[in-house]
Structure formats: C-alpha cells, structure tokens
C-alpha cells in the first residue's frame, strides 16, 4: 500500500467520523430541545439517521476486518433508547412495520438464493448436519440450562418437572439460526464456494425443522410446566395449519411474482415493497410463519419459473439498504440494561451453544465425508440467532406466563450475544476459506434503477 493510498484511506475514514459526529450531535440537540417529539415525520427522520449512522459505522470498523452487520448493530445500540437516546423507545416500536418489511425482503432473497440443483448435490451433508446439530444442541443445551439453575433467577423456584420442561424449551430455542445474518454477510462479501453454499442451505432449511420440533416439544412439556394442563393434540393441529398455510401462501406469492415479471415487469421494486407490507399483514392475521412464506415464494420464482434471473437482479437492487435498516433497528431495540444484568449466565449458555455447534459440525461433516473446508469451517455460520428465536420466545411467554417473563429476558440476552459474535465468526471463516470476493463494495448503499425495458 502506497503512502498516497494510505493517506486517502485515513482521510476517507476521518470524513466518515466527522459526518457521524456531526449528524449525531445535531440529532442529540434536537431530541433534547424538543423532548417527547413523535409522529410520522420523526419516524422517517429516525430511519434516515439509522441508515446513515449504520453505514458510516460499518465503514469505520471495516479496516479491522469486522463485518458490516456489526457496524449496523453497534450504531443502533448507540443511538437507541438505552445509551444516547437519539431514537427513543416509542420511535423504535413505531419502526416495527419497517423492520417486518425488511425481514420479509431478506427471506425473499434467501429463498431466491436456494438453487434446487445445488441443494440436491449437498443433500447428504445437509441431512447429516441437520440431524447431528439438532440432536446435540437440544440435549446438551437442555442439560446446560439445568446445570445453570443456580444462576438463573426464575429457575430456582421451579420443581424438577418444571425445570426439565423449561430446559427442553431452551434446548429447542438454541437450535435456531439467523437467516438474516447469513444473507447479510453473504451480501457484503459476495462470497461463493462450498462454505457459503452449505451455510445458506443449512440455515434456510433449518427453520422448518425448528418449527416442527418446537411444536412437538411444546405439546410434550405442557403437563410438566403446568400441572393443570394435559397432553393435547392442539399443538400439532396448529403446527399443520402453520406449515401448510405458510407453504401455500408462499407458493401463491411466488407464482404471482413470476407472472408479474413475465407479463408486466415494471416498477418491480415498488411492487416488492407493497407485496411485503400486504403479505406480512396477511401472514400475521392468519398466524402463518412469515419467514417460511417469503422463503418459499423466493424459491418458487428461482426454481419453478423462467423468471429467476430477473427476480434475483431486482432483489439485488435493494442493495445494502435492507440490511442496514433491519440490523440498525434491531440494535436500537436491544435491551442493554437487561443484557448487563444477565450477561454472566447468558454468556455461559451462549458459549456452550457455540462449542456444541462447533463439535456437532465437525462430527456431522466427518460422517458425511465432507471436504476438509467444511470440516474446518462449517460451524462458523451457525452461531448467529435473531428473529425466529425471539418469535419462539413470544410463544413460550404466552403459553407459560409463570416462567415466560424470566425465560424471555434470558433468551433476549443470549440471542444478543450470539447476534454480535456470530457474523464476525462467519466473515472470518469466509475470508480464511478464500471465498470472499475481492471486488470492493460501494461505501454507501445504493438502489440502482432497473434495466431498460422494452
């Protein structure tokens, strides 16, 4: 690196730092000068600031090798209601629909990235990895929760039966992964190769396994946690409703998108935004799985229509914007005081999960006779957790109010640690595996116009 290049890099980062400080100071002054301000205009301003702050922070930490997602999260945490309070709690809650839309587009992109032929070739690896990871994490993390009972405030008063039931639910929760974090890292690094393909396939298909396993365990542990309850089939009926409904809705959405691309193919980015909002509302009303629905839609367009190439191009045109918004809002919504209170036991459980994930990946890869690259790094993309885990926590809190509040608090703290550490590990592994693209990503998110239409 020449001296001129080094000076240019230092100058660029200094400019980014000055911009971040200037806009942060401006918003700090405005929030203090007009306390209690709220409304649609303020929500738009919060989105704009989080987008800018997340992008600038990502650029500032990039030279030390940290992924952009970490910068987005750190910017959101710093600007959130628990630190600088540049974005207060009511505004964060008002941003929930925006976050839902971002997650829908991420799931849509994830489904579009799943190539049926590649999944067939890697079916043996994915099957063994799913079996070993699910079994090992469920059993070991359930045991770890029981062993950590003295450190868990709400677990000390539980009977043996209740403790076993809650521990099994924690074990299922530990199996969840983060499709959004995986796709965010792959979007930044433009990675391609065995590790990227395996991780994407595993993470995107594991949601289905977790949903089925969670419903099964929930029905089995209900009599243990709540002595007045009896074993019933309603959990399995709800499971069938959720899975079949989600797949049906996702298939319909995929066919609609494919038909629109074939017959109209105009203003597709606007159409995706509208569909994201509308279908998310329908999914919530029908109590389907949002991630599964949008993932199936993307998969249908990619593999069962001739419009896959067009669709992927439009999805890519959303650029980094979707990931900045999603993870910056997630950072702002992070309960920092709760994390500070529960970090010892949360760190213990998160660390145990990471070790079991590493060991399970090594065992699964060995049994499946995977290449050396997957044996060494196949675990790296499986540490992150996010939306699905928190969604399961909401169900536990609703079904078991006596333990739900404490369970949710510990889960949020543990997921926060995994979400901060996981993307860093995955990017490091992609770099070491040589799968990261050498093409430089743009400094700021961009949404280029669609190609000329005939």
Q: SS3 of 66, please?
A: coil
Closest C-alpha among 89, 95, 141 to residue 351:
141
Q: SS3 of 88, please?
A: coil
How buried is residue 37: exposed, middle or buried, by Cβ count under 10 Å (0-12/13-18/19+)?
middle
Contacts of 444 (CB under 8 A, 6+ apart): 55
* Dist. CA 327–CA 334, nearest whole Å: 10
Contact 124, 368 (CB under 8 A): yes
Q: How far is CA 221 from the centre of its chain?
A: 27
Per-residue pLDDT, 268: 83
Contacts of 443 (CB under 8 A, 6+ apart): 12, 55, 59
Q: Would you tell me how many other CB atoms lie within 10 Å of the CB of residue 293?
A: 29
Per-residue pLDDT, 5: 54
How buried is residue 32: exposed, middle or buried, by Cβ count under 10 Å (0-12/13-18/19+)?
exposed
Tell whether the torsion through CA atoms of 391, 397, 398 and 399 is positive or negative: positive
Q: Would you tell me how many other CB atoms lie within 10 Å of the CB of residue 44?
A: 11
Contacts of 113 (CB under 8 A, 6+ apart): 183, 186, 200, 204, 298, 302, 312
For 334, list phi and psi in degrees, rounded to 5.
Answer: -70, 130
Domains of the chain (ranges; CATH) run 3-95 (no CATH), 100-322+336-433 (1.20.1530.20)
Per-residue pLDDT, 40: 63
* Dist. CA 255–CA 272, nearest whole Å: 14
* Dist. CA 201–CA 199, nearest whole Å: 5
In eight-state DSSP terms, residue 63 is: G
Give me the tens of pLDDT residue by residue for the chain, a chain 454 residues long: 455 555 556 777 788 888 888 888 888 887 777 766 665 677 888 888 888 888 888 888 888 878 888 888 889 888 888 888 888 888 888 888 887 888 788 888 878 877 788 778 888 888 999 999 999 999 999 999 999 999 888 888 889 999 999 999 999 999 988 888 888 888 888 888 889 989 988 988 887 788 778 878 887 888 888 777 665 566 667 767 778 888 899 999 999 999 999 888 888 888 888 888 888 888 888 878 777 888 889 889 988 888 888 888 887 776 667 888 888 888 888 778 877 888 899 999 999 999 999 999 999 999 988 899 999 999 999 999 876 787 788 778 878 888 888 888 888 889 888 888 999 999 999 999 989 875 544 444 444 444 444 3
Contact 439, 190 (CB under 8 A): yes
Per-residue pLDDT, 446: 43
Contact 242, 287 (CB under 8 A): yes
In eight-state DSSP terms, residue 324 is: H
Per-residue pLDDT, 58: 87
List, for residues 264-296, the tens digit of each pLDDT value: 888 888 888 888 888 888 888 887 877 788 888
In eight-state DSSP terms, residue 39 is: S
In eight-state DSSP terms, residue 150 is: G
Contacts of 23 (CB under 8 A, 6+ apart): 49, 52, 53
* Dist. CA 111–CA 93, nearest whole Å: 28
**Left if phi > 0, otherwise alpha if psi is -120 to 50, otherwise beta: which for 286?**
alpha
Q: What are 153-156's contacts with CB under 8 Å, separation 24+?
A: 153/406, 154/403, 154/405, 154/406, 154/407, 154/410, 155/403, 155/406
Contact 117, 79 (CB under 8 A): no
How many residues are there in the chain? 454
* Dist. CA 417–CA 344, nearest whole Å: 11
Tell whether the torsion through CA atoms of 113, 119, 122 and 127 is positive or negative: positive
In eight-state DSSP terms, residue 330 is: H
* Dist. CA 211–CA 230, nearest whole Å: 21
**Full DSSP string of 137-183:** HHHHHHHHHHHTGGG-GGGTT--HHHHHHHHHHHHHHHH---HHHHH
What six digits make up the tokens of 164? Answer: 């076993």
List, for residues 103-152, the tens digit of each pLDDT value: 788 888 878 877 788 778 888 888 999 999 999 999 999 999 999 999 88
């Amino acid at each position: 690196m020449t001296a001129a290049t080094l000076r240019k890099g230092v100058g660029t980062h200094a400019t980014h730092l000055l911009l971040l400080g200037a806009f942060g100071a401006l918003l700090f002054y405005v929030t203090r000068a007009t306390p209690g301000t709220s409304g649609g205009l303020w929500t738009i301003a919060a989105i704009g600031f989080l987008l800018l702050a997340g992008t600038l922070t990502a650029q500032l930490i990039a030279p030390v090798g940290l992924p952009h997602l970490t910068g987005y999260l750190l910017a959101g945490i710093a600007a959130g209601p628990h630190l600088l309070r540049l974005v207060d709690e009511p505004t964060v809650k008002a941003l929930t629909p925006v976050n839902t839309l971002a997650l829908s587009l991420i799931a849509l992109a994830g489904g579009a990235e799943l190539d049926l032929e590649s999944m067939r070739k890697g079916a043996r690896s994915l099957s063994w990895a799913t079996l070993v990871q699910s079994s090992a994490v469920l059993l070991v993390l359930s045991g770890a929760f029981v062993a950590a009972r003295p450190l868990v405030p709400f677990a000390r008063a539980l009977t043996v039966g209740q403790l076993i039931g809650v521990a099994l639910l924690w074990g299922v929760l530990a199996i969840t992964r983060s499709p959004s974090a995986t796709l965010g890292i792959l979007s930044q690094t433009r990675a391609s190769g065995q590790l990227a393909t395996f991780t994407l396939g595993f993470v995107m298909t594991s949601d289905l396994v977790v949903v089925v396993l969670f419903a099964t365990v929930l029905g089995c542990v209900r009599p243990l946690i709540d002595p007045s309850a009896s074993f019933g089939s309603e959990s399995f009926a709800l499971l069938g409703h959720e899975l079949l409904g989600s797949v049906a809705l996702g298939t319909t959405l995929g066919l609609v998108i494919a038909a629109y691309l074939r017959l109209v193919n105009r203003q597709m980015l606007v159409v995706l935004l509208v569909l994201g909002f509308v279908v998310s509302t329908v999914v919530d009303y029908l109590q389907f799985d949002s991630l599964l629905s949008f993932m199936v839609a993307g998969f249908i367009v990619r593999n069962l229509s001739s419009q896959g190439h067009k669709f992927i191009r439009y999805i890519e045109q959303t650029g980094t914007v979707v990931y900045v918004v999603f993870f910056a809002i997630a950072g702002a919504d992070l309960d920092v005081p709760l994390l500070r209170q529960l970090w010892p036991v949360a760190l213990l459980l998160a660390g145990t999960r990471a070790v079991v994930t590493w060991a399970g990946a090594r065992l699964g890869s060995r049994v499946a006779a995977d290449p050396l690259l997957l044996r060494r790094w196949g675990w790296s993309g499986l540490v992150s957790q996010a939306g699905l885990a928190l969604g399961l926590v909401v169900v536990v809190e609703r079904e078991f109010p006596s333990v739900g509040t404490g369970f949710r608090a510990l889960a949020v703290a543990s997921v926060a640690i995994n979400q901060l550490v996981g993307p860093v590990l995955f990017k490091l592994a992609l770099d070491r595996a040589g799968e990261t693209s050498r093409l430089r990503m743009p400094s700021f998110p961009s949404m280029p116009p669609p190609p000329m239409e005939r």
